[in-house]
Amino acid sequence: MDEQVVLHHLIEVEKNAAQIVERAQQEAAAHIAENDRVCRNEFDSAYTKEYTALEEDYKRRLAEIESAYQIELDAQRVKLEHAPPNLARFAAIAQDYFAQAGG
């Protein structure tokens, strides 16, 4: 009878140990999941912040470049519109062209 009590006690101890291990595994899994969620949120936040800053910088620089381009284009247009015609040079180029085309 004593042996059965001892065996029964050992079986109970084994069950308790298994339950403790299972709870520990569940808690560890919950901690890992929570840490994963926190890390993902931190990454997403940092990524979004950096992406937004880069996007704003890109748009600002693009606007500066487009503005500088437009200013340069307008300046060249004014320069060409106010340039005196060089009829002699035009005639020489036209004569060379037609001479090569007919030749």
pLDDT in tens, 48-85: 999 999 999 999 999 999 999 999 999 999 999 999 98
CA 61, CA 18: separation in Å to the nearest integer? 63
| H or E segment to which residue 83 belongs | none
Could you tell me the pTM of the whole model?
0.55
Number of CB atoms found within 10 A of residue 4's CB? 8
CA 33, CA 61: separation in Å to the nearest integer? 41
Give yes or no for residue 20 having a pLDDT over 70. Answer: yes
CA 49, CA 43: separation in Å to the nearest integer? 10
pLDDT band (50, 70, 90) for residue 101: confident
pLDDT confidence of residue 1: 64
pLDDT confidence of residue 89: 92
Q: Decide which of 3 and 47 is more confident.
A: 47
